[in-house]
Chains A and B, each alone.
Chain A
Amino acid sequence: MSKRVVIVGGGVGGTIIANLLVKKMRQEVKKGDVIIDVVSDNPIHFYQPGLLYMLIGLKNQDELTRDERKLLDPMIELHLHPAVKIDKDKNEVHLKNGVILNYDILVIATGSKPAPEVIPGLREGGNWFYELDACLKLRHELMNFKGGKIVLAIGLPHKCPVAPLEVTFMLDDWFRQKGIRDKVEYTYTYPIGRLHGLESVANLAAKLFPERDIKSETLFNMKEVDVNKKTITSIEGVSLKYDLLITIPPHKGAQVIEDSGLGQNGFIPTDRYTLKMEGSNNVYVVGDTTNLPISKAGSTAHFESDIIVENIASEIRDGLTPFRYDGKVFCFIETSLTKGTYIMFDYNNPPNVVAPSSLIHWFKLTYNKVYWLTPMGIL
């Protein structure tokens, strides 16, 4: 009797898991003992971190996209139809085209995306770079920006927690290169009482902000945007005027998760060590889709994927799932257009930030080019 593993989501987590599982169980897959399906609503795989570079003309769209089919091992079946319902009691995934996939093991990798509509006026007044069209619009605004007040405002939850700092540091440098930095008043806001959730990263920012003339407003959580007056107000009662509002909008998970009753706002209650959906023995959750209070980042999905693949293979072969996720996360942090640093941490070890350097920046640029090896399960 063959075992069918269905993976819903063709982002970094879903694609890595599918490819690693084939590598791990190639003989079983060849014999038809294990069948692997990927369900995705998009034929294009997008390297989202590249948008930060595309924003200021350091990458173009073609460099950030690949055909999902070409990234997947040929023995994986790709269904390019959105999942509209997941029935965990019947072990079924329902696709929009009417096909129903029965699974023995399910991996949910549906990710998260910006939901600016949560904040009144934000969709109309704000600009963000976490999605292609929005990034192109903000890029246009930036290319024509001659000076004035820029406010960066951040919603919760959001993915890539260091991106707000990165875009701040990179824009600061970019405006300097353009020779208009003295005409730009840049205010970085943050939801809590320091400049980043991670204390060591907040300390780095606190050191660099005065050197770069970057203003800050902490304990600032967006309440509403007045598009006519060009002001953004926080629930803490502070209003800021802007000429250009850049935002990291609050995020939501996939609609199919809510529609299937699996988790509020599209995020699924998940065991932090096994990465199984709470109350389930045959459903794994990866990346942004979990409700775990950890960084929503590509590296999180990557490290979680290694554990999930080991456990799926072990479960099929031996009936055991002994591997445990230790909370590992790795993030590069660009601190200008020429220097960067990184952080690495897990459930037991907080991060320390090393001094920013050109070497780390170039390492990041190299990774941007070789990223495709990650979803292919090679790097």
Chain B
Amino acid sequence: MADLKDIKADVVVDARGTYCPGPLMELIKEMRQQPVGAVVEVISGDAGSAKDVPEWLKKVNQEFLGVLEENNYWRIFAKKTKEM
């Protein structure tokens, strides 16, 4: 995970404490709006995001870069590899 810590995302969405629309919806929105090649980081206070996000990325064939578990929050990284 050392490499993940060095990643500088193009967009960071801090979704901690924001229950609606929620971390996965924020990630989907950004993945659709950003250009191909962009790295999106979503910060979530919900452990479920660390599972939901990679599942969705797999379903739509986009790249899941990994997740960093911090103190009661999760930093989730994704890369847009193709138009969607």
Contacts and interface: CB of A to CB of B under 8 A. Distances in A.
Are A and B subunits of one complex? yes
Interface of A: 156-157, 161, 191-193, 197-198, 219, 221, 223, 235-237, 250, 264-265, 272, 292-295, 327, 329, 345, 347-348, 350-351
A351 B19 contact: yes
Given A156-B28, A192-B52, A219-B59, A347 B17 contact: yes
Interface in B4-46: 13-15, 17-26, 28-29, 32-33
B72 to A, nearest CB: 13
A351 B17 CA distance: 11
Contact of B20 (A161, A219, A264, A265): A161
Contact of A156 (B17, B18, B23, B32): B32
Nearest to B48: A199
B19 A156 contact: no
Interface string B48-63: 0000100110011000
Nearest to B33: A265
Nearest to A345: B19
B60 A235 contact: yes
Most buried by B among A161, A221, A250, A347: A221
27 contacts: A156-B25, A161-B20, A161-B21, A191-B24, A191-B25, A192-B25, A193-B56, A197-B21, A197-B22, A197-B25, A198-B19, A198-B20, A198-B22, A219-B56, A221-B28, A221-B60, A235-B60, A250-B32, A265-B33, A292-B18, A293-B13, A293-B15, A293-B18, A345-B19, A345-B20, A350-B19, A351-B19
Contact of B26 (A198, A235, A293, A329): A293
A237 B14 CA distance: 29
A44 to B, nearest CB: 29
Nearest to B30: A156
Given A192-B25, A197-B25, A329 B20 contact: yes
Contacts, number: 69
B47 interface: no
Interface of B: 13-15, 17-26, 28-29, 32-33, 52, 55-56, 59-60, 84
A347 B60 CA distance: 30
Task: Provide the main secondary structure of the chain A interface.
Answer: loop
B19 A192 contact: no
Contact of B14 (A192, A264, A293, A350): A293
A156 B21 contact: yes
B84 A347 contact: no
Contacts of A351: 19-20
A192 B24 contact: yes
A294 B19 CA distance: 7
A235 B25 CA distance: 14
A236 B59 contact: yes
Nearest to A264: B33
Contacts of B26: 293
Given A156-B25, A157-B25, A237-B59, 18 more contacts: A156-B21, A157-B29, A161-B20, A191-B25, A192-B22, A192-B28, A192-B52, A197-B25, A198-B22, A221-B32, A221-B60, A235-B60, A264-B33, A293-B14, A327-B18, A329-B20, A345-B19, A348-B17
A198 B46 CA distance: 12
A221 B24 CA distance: 12
A255 to B, nearest CB: 16
A294 B14 CA distance: 11
B27 to A, nearest CB: 10
B20 A294 contact: yes
